[in-house]
Structure 1
C-alpha cells in the first residue's frame, strides 16, 4: 500500500468538498486555495488534507513517502481533453511552408496536413506507433497532465483507424494516468474518397464503427465539421451512428468558419465542442440551451496565427470554458498546458484563476472525469502537481518559458 504525505504546502489549490462539477461565468474566478497545508494520498486516492495546524503527525511510517513542499504549491493535475498524441512523425516541413506564406487550408489542399500524417501512420507498425506514443504521454505527464484524451483520425482507413485505437487502448493499460479514447475517423476525406463523400461516410458507419464496438476501443466519437471537410449534415449522421453504439459526441467545430455545427452538436448531447475560434450569436444561444462544454485550444491559434477563441464572451454569457492543448504534429506540436495557461491569460485575457479552472475542473467535465479528477477532494483519484518554489500561483503563466512543474504525484 503506497502512501504519500505532502507537508508544509505553500498553497493547496482547488481543494474542498461539495465543489461544483463545472465553473461558469463570473464563478470561474473562484479558486479555493488553502495556505500552509498538508495532503495525504493512499494508493493514489486523496484521504486527508487540511491546514498544517490540524496535522496530527505520522503514526505509521510503513511504505510512506514524505515530501516537504515548503515554498511550493500543490494543485490537481491538468486534464487535457483534446489531443492527437498518437501519430507517426512530426511535420516541421509544413511549419516552414506556413512561414513561407501557405495557410493551413492551402497545405491540406495540396496533400499535406491530416493526409500527410495518415500516409506516414499507414507505414508504421502498431508496436512502433505505441512506443513512440508512450514516450509522448510520459513527456506530457512531466508537464503536469494527469488525464488525457487521445483521438484517432490519422488512419482514415479501417485498418489504420483500428491500429490507432488499439494503440490508445494499450496506452490506457500501461500508463498511470486516466486516458480516454476518441474515434475521429471523420477527420478528413481520404484522397480516394475526395469525390465520393458518401462512400467514406458509409465506410465509417458500416465498417469502422461495428469493429470499434466489438473491441470496445472508444469512449467518444468526433467529427471535424469545417469547410472542405465534413458538413453539418454529414457530422450529424456520423455522430448519430456513434451514439447508437454508446459513444458520446465530442466535436471539432468553428475553427475557420461558423457553419451551424455547434447547435447540432448541442442538440445531439455533445460532451464538448472544441476550437471555437469563430463564434456567432447563434452559437452562444445554442450553448446556453444545453450542457455541452465549450473548449478552446489557444496553442493552436498561436501556432497557426489564427484568431483566439473568445473566452471572455462565453463567460460574459454565463457559460463555462475549458482549455486543452490540441497536441498534434500539424497545428500544435506542444502539449505543455502551462503554456496554454499563459496563452489564455496573455491572448484571451483570462485571469490566472479562470484559466486554471478551465484546465482542471471544467476540463475534467469535458472528459467525463468529474468524479475522480479536477479538484482536490476526499476520495478522488486525481494525480496532483507539485510545483517548484514560486512566489505565487500567477507566476506559472507569467514565467511562460520556465518549467515550473517539479513532478506529478500519484
Structure 2
C-alpha cells in the first residue's frame, strides 16, 4: 500500500458541487492500495496505520487527479493543415465543407486506412496524452460514416482500452454529417444509423454513448431525437454537439433528450442555459476549437452562475482542434472563457468524469476512486495554468502504477 508524501499542494476534487471547490490540501499525503485511493489529506493527519507503508516522494509538487478529456475524435486518417490556412485567409467552416473539405475529407482519409494503421496512429496520440497527465479519454467515431468503418474505429478504441494504460470511453458519432454518397437521400442515411449502425455497435458492446452533431449542414433536431431515442433503447446514453456555429435550441434539445452532456455551446441561449441547469446536463466547452475557428467562446461564466457543471475538453480532431494538449485548453479556458484556474481544473477532472459517466470512479482523489493522478512541476494550480510550458507534468500514475516519468521511491 504505497503512500505519496511531500506533496506541496493536493487537489482532490472530491466535492461534487461548486465549480471552484477543488479540495485543496497543503502539505498533503495520498495513500492507495492496488488501484484505488484509500486516504487523502494533510500529512500531519496521516493515520498511523499508513506510516510504515512504502513512501513515494512528490518533491513538493502539485498533485492533481488524472485529467479526463471528455471530448476527442482520437482515431482518424490524414490532417487538414490546408484548411487552417484557408480559414486565416477568410474562408468559413461551412464554405470549406461545401467544397468537399472539412469532415468529408477526413472521412475519405480514414476509410483508406486499415484497423492496424488506425490503432497505431491513435495509440501514439494516446501515449503523448498520458505524458500530459491525461488518464481517461472519451473517444468518438464519426469519420467512417458507413457501417464497416464506424465499427472499425470503435474496435480500435476497445483495443486501446484493453491495452491501456489510459482508460477509453467510446462514443458512436455515426451522425456526424451525412456522407456525400447519401447526399441525395439523407433520410436513408438516418435510417442506416438507426437500423444498422447503432444496433451493430450495441451488439458488440462497442460504445457507451451515442452522439449527434446538430447544426446547419449536419443533422436537425428531429433527426437527433430519433437517433438518440434509438440509442437509448439500445443502452447508449446521449451526448450532443450543439449550438456551435449557430443558436438553434441545441442546449434545450440536450436537456429534452436527457443527454449526459451538451458540447460546444458557443451560441447557447439564456433559455438553453436554464434548461441545462434544470436537467443537470454537463456543459463541455472546447477552447481549442474556438481558438482555431476564431469564435467567441461559450459563456462559461453565465453557465457556472446558473449552476451548470462546466467541463473543459480538447476536442482533438484534424480540422478544428488539431491538438490534444488539454493543459493548454485549460489555460485558454481561463484566459478566454474567464474561468478561474480552480474552475478549469474541476472542469477537466470531476466534471469531465461526470460528462463521461464516470464521476466518483475517475477525476477525483477520494477513498474508492481510481489511483489516477499527475505530478505537476508547479507550486499550485494558479501558477500551473498561468505559466504556459510545453509540459509541466513530471509523472502520470494510472491505477497506482507510474505510466509516464519517474517518482522517487516508486
TM-score if structure 1 supplies the norm length? 0.93
Where does residue 6 of structure 1 map in the other structure? 4
- Alignment partner for residue 382 of structure 2, among 381, 394, 410? 394
Q: Following the alignment from structure 2 to structure 1, what is the Cα–Cα distance between the partners of residues 294 and 147?
A: 34
Check the 8 A contact 1:146/1:382 in 2, yes or no: no
Matches within 5 A, 1:307-326: 307-326=296-315
Where does residue 214 of structure 2 map in the other structure? 225
More moved, 39-48 vs 214-223:
39-48
Secondary structure (helix, strand or coil) at the match of 2:316 reads coil
Where does residue 403 of structure 2 map in the other structure? none
- Alignment partner for residue 32 of structure 1, among 23, 37, 42? 23
- Alignment partner for residue 142 of structure 1, among 128, 131, 143? 131
Aligned length: 396
Return the offset for 1:400.
Answer: 1.9
Where does residue 49 of structure 1 map in the other structure? 40
- Alignment partner for residue 153 of structure 1, among 115, 123, 142? 142
Where does residue 180 of structure 1 map in the other structure? 169
Q: Does 2:363 match 1:365?
A: no
Residues 60 and 374 from structure 1, CA distance in 2 versus in 1: closer, same or farther, beyond 3 angstroms?
closer
Q: Following the alignment from structure 1 to structure 2, what is the Cα–Cα distance between the partners of residues 250 and 368?
A: 11
Q: Following the alignment from structure 1 to structure 2, what is the Cα–Cα distance between the partners of residues 103 and 44?
A: 47
Secondary structure (helix, strand or coil) at the match of 1:143 reads coil
Listed one character per residue, the Cα deviations across residues 355-396 of structure 1 (whole Å, up to 9, x for unaligned) are 1111111111101111211211011114101112x2332111
Q: Following the alignment from structure 1 to structure 2, what is the Cα–Cα distance between the partners of residues 60 and 140?
A: 30
Return the offset for 1:70.
Answer: 2.6
Q: Spell out structure 1 runs of 4+ moving beyond 6 A.
A: none
- The gaps in structure 1 that reach 5 residues or longer are none
More moved, 356-365 vs 36-45:
36-45
Check the 8 A contact 1:374/1:382 in 2, yes or no: no
Check the 8 A contact 2:13/2:21 in 1, yes or no: no
- The gaps in structure 2 that reach 5 residues or longer are 399-410
Check the 8 A contact 1:15/1:34 in 2, yes or no: no
Matches within 5 A, 1:116-135: 116-135=105-124
Q: Does 2:52 match 1:59?
A: yes
- Alignment partner for residue 265 of structure 1, among 254, 265, 271? 254
Q: Does 2:407 match 1:409?
A: no
Return the offset for 1:292.
Answer: 1.0
Return the offset for 1:13.
Answer: 0.8
Residues 285 and 15 from structure 1, CA distance in 2 versus in 1: closer, same or farther, beyond 3 angstroms?
closer
RMSD: 1.5
Return the offset for 1:100.
Answer: 2.3
Return the offset for 1:241.
Answer: 1.0
Check the 8 A contact 2:281/2:308 in 1, yes or no: no
More moved, 298-307 vs 256-265:
256-265
Secondary structure (helix, strand or coil) at the match of 1:97 reads helix
Where does residue 289 of structure 2 map in the other structure? 300
Return the offset for 1:261.
Answer: 2.4
Return the offset for 1:401.
Answer: 3.3
Listed one character per residue, the Cα deviations across residues 227-253 of structure 1 (whole Å, up to 9, x for unaligned) are 111011111111111111010000000
Where does residue 407 of structure 2 map in the other structure? none
Q: Following the alignment from structure 1 to structure 2, what is the Cα–Cα distance between the partners of residues 30 and 243?
A: 33
Q: Following the alignment from structure 1 to structure 2, what is the Cα–Cα distance between the partners of residues 58 and 286?
A: 49
Q: Does 2:318 match 1:329?
A: yes
More moved, 43-52 vs 341-350:
43-52
Listed one character per residue, the Cα deviations across residues 230-281 of structure 1 (whole Å, up to 9, x for unaligned) are 0111111111111110100000000001112222221111000000000112
Return the offset for 1:183.
Answer: 0.4
Matches within 5 A, 1:96-135: 96-135=85-124
Residues 31 and 210 from structure 1, CA distance in 2 versus in 1: closer, same or farther, beyond 3 angstroms?
closer
Return the offset for 1:177.
Answer: 2.3
Return the offset for 1:39.
Answer: 1.1
Return the offset for 1:58.
Answer: 4.9
